[in-house]
């Protein structure tokens, strides 16, 4: 009995597998159309059959068909077969209609298509022909911008993912960017796309293939309604036609279509004012904060490192770290700022730090007062504060500078002062024990022979450099380029000196970019429109992305004069300018 049951199960499984290999389905050019438009219906099967019976097409008039087409091909040793019956229909009235089941017999079995519901609306202004290649390409190709969050807080990370959806009815052979968004009101970071991967998905409930073209992380820098500009592509679309080649294969017509992702509006919420700390510097996310030193015991005039570190996830590059306070008697140098930040679809993650070098001058105990860091936590939507521990530096040996006062004095800054004694200079020696210098004769000494021969050896060098100088002075065009390059470096240097002074920084940055263009493109400041710059860079075969980034830098310089900007944002613009100029130099 059990053997019969097992045999019956195997037979049923084989039968189902055989039946599953046969595909017979109805495909329509659209599911919603105007009463003055036409509809195309394809009944497609992957195995030849007999006695095909179409439905009655109630609510429609057949204006074309049936057109029969057969495709038979071999790819990598595998046979691919398709047979299609096509009909062109014209609706007779408004309403909701159903294209009922068609039937066919294949290998003695009867197969039926699924019913398809069609919605017929009022007449449209410009009727579309369901067999028109341009219309078919438009209806089956879509570029979509998916935004992770439509109402973020100020400085909260959002992501924009651009997907190109392609229907199985068409194929795409090539595409290129026609216009890229600039994200003028956002700090932006593009995610590196190593390779494009085709995936299966759905668009408005229908099966589509799609490819992710670009991923960008945005941090809004203003509140209110901000616009995300559309990404625009020009795409070469291969649309199947009714024509066949001599082998029965379907012929395709190539149509160039321009598709855009459409404008997206983001409503950015301001950070709450309730509970906002006075020392809040704009940090938004989830962070940890600590202050550490490389050592706590040392001798006078030795150095130690103190690190102020913020780690976690959030807008790490867009706020300033709290400053370290040190007592009198510790010499403090300008901190070195370090960033170890990675950016992915969740936003920035990693850590930033300021490294201070401290050098004690006297013996004693020196407390580094605790400092605090405040940030806005997106999970709880509240402000949080983290305070570091006090660190005591013990200087064991060195000049006596007195001990630290054990109680805080009212200084207004919260520092603990170091008291000084009156004998801190006692280590100065009063007797130098100087020794006389031994006399040497100049004649026939080493210095004598060098002084004698040096002028003779210098004559060829003078001739060589004189010739080079004449060549350089005669090179008028090269001198103009070198002068502009020198000015660009000068203004970039001025921009670096003015980090923290927003107005002067962006004026110097803009001058540097303009002088660089004078050197490389041989144009004057009066001719520097953005369109002309972009066109000239394109003629010099500079990549579009680099040219767009250069234009974005110019716009950022104009925009930043009138909006507040942090030192970190200025540093980012300076680094971006250096990188873009180097990239253009390399490509030119």
Is the confidence at residue 67, as pLDDT, over 60?
A: yes
Spatial contact of 81 and 46, defined as CB atoms under 8 Å apart: yes
Q: Give the percent of the chain with pLDDT over 90.
A: 24
pTM above 0.75, yes or no: no
Per DSSP, the chain holds a count of helices (H) and strands (E) of: 8, 30
Rounded CA gap, 141 and 146, in Å? 16
Contact predicate 375/284, CB 8 Å: yes
Q: How confident is the model at residue 168 (pLDDT cuts 50, 70, 90)?
A: confident
What confidence tens digit (pLDDT) does each residue in 197-241 have?
888 888 888 889 999 999 999 999 999 999 888 888 888 888 877
Q: Are 362 and 300 in contact (CB under 8 A)?
A: yes
Q: How far apart are CA 73 and CA 81, in angstroms?
A: 7
Of 17-31, 120-134, 417-431, which has the strongest mean pLDDT? Answer: 17-31
- pLDDT tens figures, 179-197: 888 888 899 998 887 788 8
Query: Taking a C-beta distance cutoff of 8 angstroms, is the pair 291, 306 a contact?
Result: yes
Residue 247 banded pLDDT, cuts 50, 70, 90: low
What tens digit of pLDDT does each residue of 146-165 get? Answer: 999 999 999 999 999 999 99
Q: Give the pair of three-digit tokens for residue 507.
A: 């004026």
C-alpha to C-alpha distance for 147 and 268, rounded to whole angstroms: 13
For residue 407, give both structure tokens.
């109680």
pLDDT of residue 441: 65
Secondary structure (DSSP) of 222-277: S-EEEEEPPPEEEEEEEEEEEEE-TTSPEEEEEEEEEEE---EEEEEBPPP-TT--
**Is the pLDDT score of 84 beyond 80?**
yes
Which residues partner with 146 through β-bridges?
A: 161
d(CA 257, CA 141): 9
Residue 406: predicted pLDDT: 35
Which of 43-47, 54-58, 266-270, 469-473 shows the lowest per-residue confidence on average (mean pLDDT)? 469-473
Rounded to an integer, the average pLDDT of 88-94 is 85
Mean pLDDT of all residues in the chain?
80
Over range 532-545, report the average pLDDT. 78
**DSSP code of 110?**
E
Whether the pLDDT of residue 65 is over 80: the answer is: no
The answer on pLDDT for 410 being more than 50 is: no
- Contact criterion met (CB below 8 Å) for 172 and 209: no
Mean pLDDT computed over 469-483: 66
Higher per-residue pLDDT: 579 or 440: 579
Q: Which residue has the higher pLDDT, 504 or 245?
A: 504
**Separation of alpha carbons 122 and 477, rounded Å:** 68
**What pLDDT is attached to residue 422?**
45
Cα dihedral 229, 233, 234, 240 sign: negative
Q: How far apart (Å, rounded) are the C-alpha atoms in residues 154 and 140? A: 37
- pLDDT per residue over 324-359, tens digit each? 988 888 888 899 999 999 998 889 999 999 999 999
pLDDT of 19 over the 50 cut: no
Per-residue pLDDT at 418? 45
- Phi then psi dihedrals of residue 211, to 5 deg: -135, 135
pLDDT at 271 over 90: yes
- What is residue 405's predicted lDDT score, i.e. its pLDDT? 39
Compute the distance between CA of residue 559 and CA of residue 28 in angstroms, rounded to an integer.
Answer: 50
Task: Determine the Cα–Cα distance for residues 545 and 190; give it in Å rounded to an integer.
Answer: 11
**Token pair of 545, please?**
């992305």
Say yes or no to pLDDT of 372 above 80.
yes
Higher pLDDT, 40 or 568: 40
Strands 39-45 and 78-91: antiparallel
Measured distance CA(133)–CA(144) in Å, rounded = 22
pLDDT band (50, 70, 90) for residue 419: very low
Structural tokens at position 541:
């075969």
For 307, residues 6+ apart whose C-beta sits below 8 A from its C-beta are 291, 292, 293, 294, 353, 354, 355, 356
Region 555-584: mean pLDDT is 73
Q: Which two tokens stand for residue 100?
A: 């009922």
The per-residue pLDDT for 18 is 47
In this structure, of 7-11, 339-343, 436-440, the range with the lowest mean pLDDT score is 7-11
Question: How many whole angstroms separate alpha carbon 199 and alpha carbon 337?
Answer: 42
* Residue 303 pLDDT exceeds 80: yes
Query: What residues does 410 pair with on adjacent strands?
Result: none
b/e map 60-69, b = 16+ CB within 10 Å: beeeeeeeeb
């Amino acid at each position: 009995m059990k053997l019969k049951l097992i045999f019956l199960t195997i037979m049923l499984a084989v039968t189902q597998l055989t039946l599953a290999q046969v595909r017979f389905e109805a495909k329509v050019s659209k599911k919603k159309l105007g009463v003055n438009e036409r509809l195309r219906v394809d009944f497609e099967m992957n195995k030849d059959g007999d006695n095909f019976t179409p439905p009655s097409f109630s609510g429609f008039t057949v204006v074309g068909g049936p057109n029969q087409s057969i495709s038979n091909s071999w790819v990598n040793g595998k046979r691919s077969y398709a047979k299609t019956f096509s009909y062109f229909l014209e609706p007779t009235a408004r309403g909701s209609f159903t294209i009922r089941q068609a039937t066919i017999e294949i290998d003695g079995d009867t197969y039926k298509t699924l019913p398809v519901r069609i919605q017929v609306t009022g007449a449209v202004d410009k009727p579309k022909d369901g067999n028109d290649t341009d219309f078919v390409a438009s209806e089956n190709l879509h570029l979509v911008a998916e935004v992770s969050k439509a109402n973020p807080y100020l400085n909260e990370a959002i992501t924009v993912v651009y997907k190109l959806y392609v229907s199985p009815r068409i194929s795409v052979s090539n595409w290129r960017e026609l216009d890229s968004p600039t994200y003028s009101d956002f700090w932006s970071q593009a995610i590196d796309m190593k390779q494009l991967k085709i995936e299966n998905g759905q668009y408005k409930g229908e099966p589509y293939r799609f490819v992710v073209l670009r991923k960008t992380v945005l941090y809004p820098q203003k509140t209110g309604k901000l616009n995300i500009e559309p990404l625009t592509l020009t795409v070469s679309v291969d649309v199947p036609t009714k024509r066949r080649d001599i082998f029965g294969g379907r012929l395709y017509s190539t149509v160039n279509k321009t598709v855009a992702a459409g404008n997206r509006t983001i409503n950015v919420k301001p950070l709450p004012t309730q509970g906002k700390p006075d020392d809040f510097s704009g940090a938004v996310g989830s962070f940890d904060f600590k202050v550490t030193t490389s050592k706590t015991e040392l001798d006078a005039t030795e150095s130690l490192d103190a690190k102020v570190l913020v780690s976690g996830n959030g807008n790490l590059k867009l706020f300033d770290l709290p400053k370290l306070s040190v007592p009198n008697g510790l010499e403090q140098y300008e901190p070195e700022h370090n960033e170890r930040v990675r950016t992915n679809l969740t936003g920035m993650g990693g850590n930033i730090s300021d490294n201070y070098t401290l050098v004690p001058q006297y013996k004693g105990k020196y407390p580094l007062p605790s400092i605090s860091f405040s940030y806005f936590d997106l999970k709880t939507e509240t402000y949080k504060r983290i305070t570091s521990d006090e660190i005591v530096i013990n200087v064991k040996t060195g000049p006596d500078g007195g001990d630290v006062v054990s109680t805080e004095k009212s200084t207004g800054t919260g520092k603990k002062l170091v008291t000084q004694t009156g004998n801190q200079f006692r280590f100065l020696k009063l007797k130098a024990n100087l020794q006389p210098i031994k006399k040497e004769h100049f004649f026939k000494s080493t210095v004598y022979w060098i002084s004698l021969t040096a002028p003779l050896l210098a004559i060829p060098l003078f001739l060589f450099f004189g010739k080079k100088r004449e060549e350089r002075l005669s090179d008028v065009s090269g001198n103009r380029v070198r002068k502009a390059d020198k000015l660009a470096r000068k203004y970039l240097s001025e921009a670096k000196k003015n980090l923290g002074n927003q107005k002067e920084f962006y004026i110097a940055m803009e001058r540097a970019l303009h002088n660089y263009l004078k050197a490389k493109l041989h144009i004057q400041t009066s001719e520097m429109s953005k369109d002309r710059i972009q066109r000239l860079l394109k003629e010099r075969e500079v990549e579009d992305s680099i040219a767009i980034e250069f234009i974005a830098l110019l716009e950022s310089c104009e925009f930043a004069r009138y909006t507040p900007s942090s030192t970190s944002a200025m540093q980012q613009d300076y680094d971006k300018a250096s990188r873009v100029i180097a990239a253009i130099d390399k490509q030119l």
